[in-house]
Amino acid sequence: MAVGRHLQATHDVVVFTLSPAATLAVDAGFQTEYLRSHEYGQVGNRAWNGFYATRLEHLLDQYQPEIMAFDGGHPYAGLCAVLRRRKELRSVWSRRGLWKPGKGHDAFSRSALFSHVIEPGEYAAELDRGLTAGGASASRVTAPVSAVMPDDLQPADNVRDKLGLDPDRPAVLMQLGAGQVNDTGSLSARVVASLQRHPEVQVAVTESVLTREPATLPDNVIRLRHFPIGEYRAGFDASIMAAGYNSFQEAMTLGLPTLFVPNQSTAKDDQDARTLWAEQSGCGLRWNDDGQVNGLNRAIDRLLDPSDQARMREEMAKLPAATGAAEIAAALDEWSRQP
């Protein structure tokens, strides 16, 4: 969607998605096509890929796009089958880097099926130790992509007023998605408990706008359901989050002091490398969930220290701008016009 916004003025942009968040693309003004992911269906992976290929063939015939871009970590078998049949189709894989060492050989081998591979930039690219190191096989590597830019931020006073946050007390945004806050053994509950050692700190927990049954939260924890969450960042002094591509680049771009907790269970995404880079560069803090309360408490104490926050903001201000979405859009436009 970040890339599509740069193309909407001059191109008809169609979003074909497997995400139940498809309505967000509709609300953003995109022509949107939806297919239920195999994760939510009643058929096996092989049969689902046949459904996917058939649906994609129909969409290509209907819209006859100048170029088709796939944004994902693993090109589906159904997609690859279509690419093999339609060799004349201009196709691009928007392939994020920072893969774990030794992971993703099957996915990486599918790069050759695309006309181009473009890599959205990564602030932590220097720590890429996987197959994607150095932008391997990419036609182009861009600046990092952030869906929310500094100009998109809602004023801090407005955000705090909407959420009922005291303007005179520090506020922390928690975006972990790792267990219920009311489950005392979960990561989210442990982090909230550590934050509550500081009674002056206000805590807001993000919840997906797609959540059907809201989680049970302590009375003094605020629920935040908004898309995109980044628009509200100015209302917070700091944040605690996992280190996925989108949230990490956005935190750096918006200068939000953050304690990153890497999700170690991802298939390829090397969140550990991202958090190591944040720590080494001074742009963020890192806590690897080792189950030790003392380590978490020390990390939280540093996050809440105004001098540490100022240092992180100073380092993030030195980073290059996250202009990757505009650069990818320009590349798609350029490649679509090639004979």
Buried b (16+ CB within 10 A) or exposed e, 50-61: eebbebbeebee
* Percent of the chain at pLDDT exceeding 70: 97
CA separation for the pair 84, 107 (Å, rounded): 15
Alpha carbon separation from 121 to 128, 149, 218, 274, 338 (Å, rounded)? 12, 15, 38, 13, 24
CATH of domain 154-316: 3.40.50.2000
Q: Which residue has the tokens 């100048």?
A: 66
Task: State the pLDDT at residue 185.
Answer: 59
For residue 178, pLDDT beyond 80: no
Confidence of residue 179 (pLDDT cuts 50, 70, 90): very low
Task: State the pLDDT at residue 146.
Answer: 97
For residue 138, pLDDT beyond 80: yes
CA separation for the pair 145, 324 (Å, rounded): 4
Confidence of residue 186 (pLDDT cuts 50, 70, 90): confident
Angle at the Cα of 157 from the Cα atoms of 154 and 161, rounded to 5 degrees:
100
Task: State the pLDDT at residue 180.
Answer: 53
CATH of domain 2-145+322-336: 3.40.50.2000
Smallest CA-to-CA distance from 129 within 256, 270, 3, 16 is with: 270
User: What is the three-class DSSP state of 212?
Assistant: coil
16-48 pLDDT, tens digit each:
999 999 999 999 999 999 999 988 778 899 999
Alpha carbon separation from 209 to 229, 240, 316 (Å, rounded)? 10, 19, 29
Question: Rounded mean pLDDT of the chain?
Answer: 93
β-partners of residue 144 are 121
Contact 35, 51 (CB under 8 A): yes
302-322 pLDDT, tens digit each:
999 999 999 999 999 999 999
What's the mean pLDDT in 269-289?
A: 96
Strands 171-175 and 258-260: unpaired
User: What is the three-class DSSP state of 227?
Assistant: coil
Strands 238-241 and 171-175: parallel
CA separation for the pair 197, 296 (Å, rounded): 12
Q: Return the domain boundaries, the chain.
A: 2-145+322-336, 154-316
Task: State the pLDDT at residue 181.
Answer: 56
